[in-house]
Each structure stands twice: as structure tokens, then as C-alpha cells.
Chain A
Amino acid sequence: AQTVTQSQPEMSVQEAETVTLSCTYDTSESNYYLFWYKQPPSRQMILVIRQEAYKQQNATENRFSVNFQKAAKSFSLKISDSQLGDTAMYFCAFMTGAGTASKLTFGTGTRLQVTL
């Protein structure tokens, strides 16, 4: 079974600064997908970024980028130029890539507070 670990329950960053959220996972599979989801106080889960394990290049979406280290089973999220609207719970998630889509396995989340 796959597990996802987020070791930072809470983090704080000042507006315009950069913050990195950590995620590690455990799997014996070679093909899989990794995701970061954001859940603001409105509670709607929003997909932030996705990484396919077979791709060596780190995914980037505007101010959000990942550092994917497959050998270390690490998948961190970097938020550049933090904005107040980035305040939310951030969940790292894993999905097996064995042929078809499947369920998401989530970490316990990191609560990010962006301050003035």
C-alpha cells in the first residue's frame, strides 16, 4: 500500500516571500502520479500541480513549482511570491499509474498562513 507523509503540520510565510512544503511517499511502483491540492477556508479542493513519475522535468504552474526526487521519493512544492490568497491547507496526493486512473491517497496536509 502507498503512503504519503507531510511532516509540516503548519507553516507561515510573509507575503511576496518563497515557501517550500515537503512531501514524501512510499511505493514499490515505478509508474505513478503525484499531485498537490489546495483547500482554502471555503473548503473547495483545487488542483495546484501534477507530476508524472516518468517525467524527469519538474512541473511548473505559474508561481507554483515542484522538486521531484524519484529516488528519494520526495515531492516538495515551492510557492514563489506568496500571496494572501495562498492561505490554505495543502495536500500532497499519490495515484498509481498502473494502466488506469485510480483513487488518490492523501497526506495529512500542511496548513499555510500567508501574512502581511
Chain B
Amino acid sequence: EAGVTQSPTHLIKTRGQQATLRCSPISGHTSVYWYQQALGLGLQFLLWYDEGEERNRGNFPPRFSGRQFPNYSSELNVNALELDDSALYLCASSQGLADYEQYFGPGTRLTVT
């Protein structure tokens, strides 16, 4: 069974641009979580989608947004990129609202120059 996949592996953008990161959950999983792992800040929760709806949002500005598609894959968009947005972005999936175990993808390394 395939695990959580993320694309691209690496992404280099310049300040002010927009970045789009993609995540495909494990087959049968309906929940997708996004986390930011920035150097020195640890893992911070960004967004949670389940069955196409945004369930929860972390303490991030509105320029961080996303969506979940009917096939449960998800997209994270970061607008007006800032240097501090450089981080590893991790996606995790679970079987839904009653599943307490999250399985992570390999991440997308975003570098903003």
C-alpha cells in the first residue's frame, strides 16, 4: 500500500511569489493535515481538512490557505512568500475524524530567496 506522497520534493521561490504544495493521502484516508517544520521552531500545525472541509487552522496568517479535492488529495498555497516561510512542509493523513493516528509524507522543502 502506497504511503502519503507529496510533491514537489523541493521548491525554490523568490520573495513575493506564490507556492503550491501538493499531498496525496493514503488510500482510504479522508483527513489531511499540514504542518510546517521551520528551523528552530519545531513542528507547527497549519491546516486540517476532512471530507473536503477545513476542520481547523493553526496560528498562521491568511496567506496560508489550502483545499481538499473530492479524491481527498490536498493543496497548500502560500501567497506573498516571505523569507521566514522557508521550511519543510509535512502532510499527514488519517482515516477520518475518529482516527487518532496520523501518517506523514516525506515533505516538501520550500526555500524562499
Count of residues in B whose CB is under 8 Å from the partner chain: 25
Also in contact, A107 and B42, with CB within 8 A (given A42-B106, A101-B31, A102-B56): yes
Chain A residues contacting B25 (CB-CB under 8 Å) are: none
Chain B residues contacting A111 (CB-CB under 8 Å) are: none
Bin chain A's interface residue count: 20 to 34
> Which listed segment binds A: B60-68, B69-77, B95-103?
B95-103
Given contacts A45-B104, A100-B97, 8 further A-B contacts (CB under 8 A): A37-B104, A42-B106, A44-B104, A45-B90, A97-B100, A101-B100, A102-B48, A106-B42
Give me 18 A-to-B residue pairs in the complex whose CB atoms sit less than 8 angstroms apart, sorted by A's number: A33-B100, A35-B101, A37-B104, A43-B88, A47-B101, A50-B101, A95-B100, A97-B100, A100-B97, A100-B98, A101-B97, A102-B48, A103-B45, A104-B102, A105-B45, A106-B43, A107-B42, A109-B42
Give the 5 A-B residue pairs with the shortest CB-CB distance, closest first: A45-B104, A103-B45, A106-B43, A100-B97, A108-B42
List the interface of chain B (C-beta within 8 A of A): 31, 33, 35, 42-43, 45, 48, 56, 58, 88, 90, 92, 94, 96-107
